[in-house]
Amino acid sequence: MSASRRPNGVSKPSPRVSPNTSARSPSTKRPPTISDNLTTLLHPAEGLLLLTYPSLLLLGSLFSLLDPSARAAPYSASLQSHPPDMAPNYFALKKNVFNIWFVKVGWFWFTVAWAVWVLMGMGMVRARSQAPPREKNKARIVELSDDEEVEEEEEGREEKDGMLVLTPQKLQSALRWVVVTFWWMVVTQWCFGPALIDRGFRLTGGQCELMQSNTARQEMGDVREFVTATACKIAGGEWKGGHDISGHVFILVLGSASLGLEVLGAMVNDRRPGAEEKQAQLGKWGWGIVVGVVGMSWWMLLMTAAYFHTWFEKFTGLSTAFVGITVVYMLPRVIPGVRDILGVPGR
């Protein structure tokens, strides 16, 4: 055994190093694994946001069972709602103003709210947090007599530059929104022909029945090639017989959850200098429209759960929306290659 000698002549045994112990440089970092990333998959606030959607569907569905007026009103499977002349309340009507001007054009409102957040809220704060301290404090070193004028000029320039600067985070947010929009289009609008909702309806035995008169109805026969719900209605028929994924649930969940994860993720995940200022800027530029759009989505989701569609149709609408959410917002957290492309909000 080797020994080291102290100045007073007393020997001190040297520490023994196990042969199985490998020396590792403190600067060497082990590449993150999927199991490591799973431990930080979701911030609690993000998990609470996603839990809101099944909770709202459950609450609305239970309300329809407990509310006497909703129970007393007959439900039409072909209309996927209560008949208009027997609707329990205003929100049970398909022609209510919120359904027509918000849900029916919902992706427009979601995109507007996202653009406000990215171009104004996120962009301005990121530009300010990344600006050199010398530039940010430039207005503070001027003389007291003219500091107010210089501060206003500097702040105006910073705000303008913050809106227009193109950062990697903004590009990744735009790419995420493009992918989410593509999923919305494939499910509800077009999928190399009929959308997935219409294809699923046909595959489960549904078809369009053409109304011939007010008292008689016969199958479309040769005109079954009207394979979409819109074409069926234009032809004067009714879309019935198969399983119809709730398009309302799908778009309300996909749009508001994506928007919420973009904003909430940036607020809770950003640990760089300027993150606290981000919340103030978000409140100044984007918070109002984001809260308004997400809040209205939650309310209309609750009304959809209470008065429209069956339990299973609402469940499949929720599940289809969560497929898109998982691909765009969950996979990048566990697969580094996907994270390099799509990124994670606030990281």
Q: Does 7 or 246 have the greater pLDDT score?
A: 246
* Nearest-angstrom CA–CA distance, 107 and 295: 15
Residues 275-285 have pLDDT tens digits of 555 555 555 66
* Nearest-angstrom CA–CA distance, 249 and 301: 6
How far CA 119 is from CA of 69, 253, 297, in Å, comes to 46, 23, 22
Amino acid found at 122: M
Q: How confident is the model at residue 242 (pLDDT cuts 50, 70, 90)?
A: confident
pLDDT on residue 117:
83
Residue with tokens 């996909």: 254
pLDDT on residue 201:
80
- Range among 17-31, 222-236, 330-344 rated most confident: 330-344
158: left (phi over 0), alpha (psi -120 to 50) or beta: alpha
Which residues face 208 on adjacent strands? 239
Residues 310-329 have pLDDT tens digits of 899 999 999 999 999 999 99
Backbone angles phi, psi at 49, to 5 degrees: -60, -50
pLDDT on residue 142:
41
pLDDT on residue 54:
97
Judged against a pLDDT cut of 50, whether residue 133 lies above it is answered with no
For 183, residues 6+ apart whose C-beta sits below 8 A from its C-beta are 254, 323, 324, 327, 328
Please say whether the beta carbons of 305 and 56 come within 8 A: yes
pTM of the predicted model as reported, rounded to 2 decimal places: 0.73
pLDDT on residue 210:
60
Determine what percent of the chain is predicted with pLDDT higher than 90. 34
Residue with tokens 């759009």: 293
Q: How confident is the model at residue 17 (pLDDT cuts 50, 70, 90)?
A: very low
Determine what percent of the chain is predicted with pLDDT higher than 70. 61
Residues 93-102 have pLDDT tens digits of 989 999 999 9
Amino acid found at 286: G
Judged against a pLDDT cut of 80, whether residue 89 lies above it is answered with yes
Q: Does 243 or 209 have the greater pLDDT score?
A: 243
Beta strands (DSSP E) in the chain are 3-5, 11-13, 207-211, 217-219, 237-240
Alpha helices (H) in 168-286, listed in sequence order: 168-188, 196-203, 229-234, 247-269, 275-285
pLDDT on residue 2:
47
* Nearest-angstrom CA–CA distance, 294 and 110: 8
- Count CA atoms closer than 13 A to 231's CA, side-chain side: 15
Among candidate residues 76, 157, 89, 159, the one with its CA nearest the CA of residue 124: 159
Residues 64-77 have pLDDT tens digits of 889 888 888 888 77
Judged against a pLDDT cut of 90, whether residue 7 lies above it is answered with no
